[in-house]
Chain A
């Protein structure tokens, strides 16, 4: 049979096997539409958060179920919808495609690919709204998320299953911390999801390009709801992100989700609620803006062995105005998360980048999320920094102080210099241990403070070239007298060879 005949045969078979089915669909009529919100009459059996189909293939979510009308937000272009149009129930509660096919792709809030690649077809759909795992399915956080940023891994460590807030003014490096963390997850058996809420499309494009360059897209999904998309998309995007994460966590994998940023999601939710005529509260936010964030962040968890042992770690980002952490949304999210990483503009301009304020930053999980070597070596770091901050004002009178105080100030200055790190250069944890050990045990005492960065680089080059076995032992979490002795000798060797 020729090819055309084959095609015709196959078409005929398909047409023959076509079953004529007629179904009854429940409909409503649009009473009013505008600003992304539509009010419909009818739809008597509509469920909460059910997806509705508008003419033109646009979908909406029913959010306001009133006595005679249904109020829905439209997920897409609404300009062609007119009064009187028929709206159908789909019977499906809002859900997004989930699966391995999403890894390496850039999708929008409803799971449609926007990176110009082929259409994403998945077998499974997870509901966007889901009840967070209960108390008995969880276990305490005990494995680290290595961010590769010395200041964080040493003094404000993050664990798998924790929620750590990254908070600061604009342009303080919040996204940079999150991206460096994602880049450092290479080879750490972690899937990363970066949710961009209300960000400039150019920024997301740059991030995607950078991640692709360093090979991070092999384990990352980007969910983006740009600044020009309707508010409901920005409202849903974080929930879609965590739904995709839950698919992997249910299979026992570890997932890192970055929400950049939740302030814009709160704005989008405020916009939607005001248009839906829900009563405004403080700062015009609706009454349930706390619930908006708490139910999102509660879905981050560390599941116990009986439930697969997977985890979802959340790094929400909040932008403050003029460092005001006592504003409405920042206080809400601070009370929900297990700690915060505080980035300050003044430190940024002083040259301390990442601009972490170690004093105000906290990780409520702490040492339980560090490998043994790091815990031993960095244990005294936070205390030393705290003492330094107390004495910092006296640093100008260095010559008039007693030797004890002078030593503390100098140590503080060295540690501050040590925590400075370039963007896009995350450090593996074993190298961080070597570096911190050298500084805190006096091996760099003769190096002037400004030259510490250089000296550290030389030390690490030396360690990588000639002390691989020691580094592997540290990376595996080994720490005993022998290992410490080996490390001490390595540092002495380096100092002598300079």
Chain B
């Protein structure tokens, strides 16, 4: 049965995670034969990207995207990353429109601690009380 690239990435991780040396080589070769059989070799780039993401997730590495209004220095990034775990890979983005604070995005959740969001909330509250 043909899987999605994500599926093949998972398969590659599962079959190679506990293998080393000669066995690892054997498993990887088998994997490529499988891809050839399923005619999925053309999608190899996607499969490898999904494999890397899945492997990182499985090893407990948290990937973060931190957005700040100005460029954040190493100390600040480290401070934020500490709250999300020991093994954190953080990517930083500069977006002036959030005005201040930070927005932290993990794979499926977003923590919006930006100044823009707080001002929006304040606006709603002031409108309601009137």
A11 to B129, CA, bound (A): 10
Residue from the list A20, A21, A27, A68 in contact with B110, Cβ < 8 A? A27
Is B113's CB within 8 Å of the partner chain A? yes
- Say yes or no: A43 contacts B129, CB within 8 Å: no
Closest approach, in angstroms, between the C-beta of B63 and any C-beta of chain A? 13
Contacts of B125 in A (CB 8 A): 14, 18
Per-residue contact bits, chain B 81-113, to A (CB 8 Å; 1 contact, 0 not): 000000000000000000000000101111111
Q: A43 with B109: in contact, given A11-B126, A18-B125 (CB under 8 Å)? A: no
Q: A43 with B118: in contact, given A11-B126, A14-B125, A68-B6 (CB under 8 Å)? A: no
- Say yes or no: A86 contacts B129, CB within 8 Å: no
- Say yes or no: A86 contacts B6, CB within 8 Å: no
- Say yes or no: B6 contacts A25, CB within 8 Å: no
A43 to B107, CA, bound (A): 10
Is A15's CB within 8 Å of the partner chain B? yes
- Say yes or no: A22 contacts B113, CB within 8 Å: yes
Per-residue contact bits, chain A 1-45, to B (CB 8 Å; 1 contact, 0 not): 000000000010011001011111111100000000000001110
Q: A24 with B108: in contact, given A15-B122, A18-B122 (CB under 8 Å)? A: no
Q: A22 with B111: in contact, given A11-B126, A14-B129, A68-B4 (CB under 8 Å)? A: yes
Q: A27 with B108: in contact, given A14-B126, A14-B129, A15-B122 (CB under 8 Å)? A: yes
Per-residue contact bits, chain A 62-88, to B (CB 8 Å; 1 contact, 0 not): 000000100000000000000000101
Closest approach, in angstroms, between the C-beta of A20 and any C-beta of chain B? 6
Q: A26 with B109: in contact, given A20-B118, A68-B4, A68-B6 (CB under 8 Å)? A: yes
Q: A42 with B107: in contact, given A14-B129, A22-B112, A22-B113 (CB under 8 Å)? A: yes
Contacts of B110 in A (CB 8 A): 24-27, 86, 88
Contacts of A42 in B (CB 8 A): 107-108
B-side interface residues, number (CB < 8 Å): 17
Contacts of B107 in A (CB 8 A): 42
Residue of B nearest to A13 (CB): B129
A24 to B126, CA, bound (A): 23
A18 to B121, CA, bound (A): 9
Contacts of B126 in A (CB 8 A): 11, 14-15
A491 to B107, CA, bound (A): 83
Contacts of A86 in B (CB 8 A): 110
Contacts of A68 in B (CB 8 A): 4, 6
Contacts of A28 in B (CB 8 A): 108
- Say yes or no: A24 contacts B118, CB within 8 Å: no
Residue of B nearest to A20 (CB): B118
Residue of B nearest to A18 (CB): B122
Residue of A nearest to B117 (CB): A22
A68-112 at interface with B (beta carbon < 8 Å): 68, 86, 88
Contacts of B122 in A (CB 8 A): 15, 18
A113 to B20, CA, bound (A): 66
Closest approach, in angstroms, between the C-beta of B103 and any C-beta of chain A? 10
Contacts of B113 in A (CB 8 A): 22
Residue from the list B6, B109, B117, B121 in contact with A24, Cβ < 8 A? B109
A44 to B106, CA, bound (A): 13
A86 to B118, CA, bound (A): 19
- Say yes or no: B108 contacts A43, CB within 8 Å: yes
Closest approach, in angstroms, between the C-beta of A84 and any C-beta of chain B? 13
Q: Which of B6, B109, B118, B126 has the most CB of A within 10 A?
A: B109
Closest approach, in angstroms, between the C-beta of A401 and any C-beta of chain B? 78
- Say yes or no: A24 contacts B111, CB within 8 Å: yes
- Say yes or no: A44 contacts B111, CB within 8 Å: no
Closest approach, in angstroms, between the C-beta of B115 and any C-beta of chain A? 10
Q: A44 with B118: in contact, given A14-B125, A14-B129, A68-B4 (CB under 8 Å)? A: no
A131 to B126, CA, bound (A): 39
Closest approach, in angstroms, between the C-beta of A274 and any C-beta of chain B? 23
Contacts of B111 in A (CB 8 A): 22-24
Closest approach, in angstroms, between the C-beta of B26 and any C-beta of chain A? 30
Residue from the list B105, B108, B121, B129 in contact with A44, Cβ < 8 A? B108
B1-56 at interface with A (beta carbon < 8 Å): 4, 6
- Say yes or no: B129 contacts A25, CB within 8 Å: no
A361 to B13, CA, bound (A): 67
Residue of B nearest to A21 (CB): B121
A391 to B93, CA, bound (A): 87
Residue of B nearest to A28 (CB): B108
A493 to B108, CA, bound (A): 84
A82 to B96, CA, bound (A): 21
Q: Which of B108, B111, B129 has the most CB of A within 10 A?
A: B108
Interface residues of A (CB under 8 A from B): 11, 14-15, 18, 20-28, 42-44, 68, 86, 88
Pairs A–B under 8 Å by Cβ, sample size 11: A14-B125, A18-B125, A20-B118, A22-B117, A23-B111, A24-B111, A26-B108, A27-B108, A42-B107, A44-B108, A88-B110
Known: A24-B109, A26-B108. 6 other contacts (CB 8 A): A15-B126, A22-B113, A24-B110, A25-B109, A27-B108, A43-B108
Closest 9 CB pairs between A and B? A22-B113, A42-B108, A27-B110, A24-B111, A24-B109, A18-B122, A26-B109, A25-B110, A14-B129
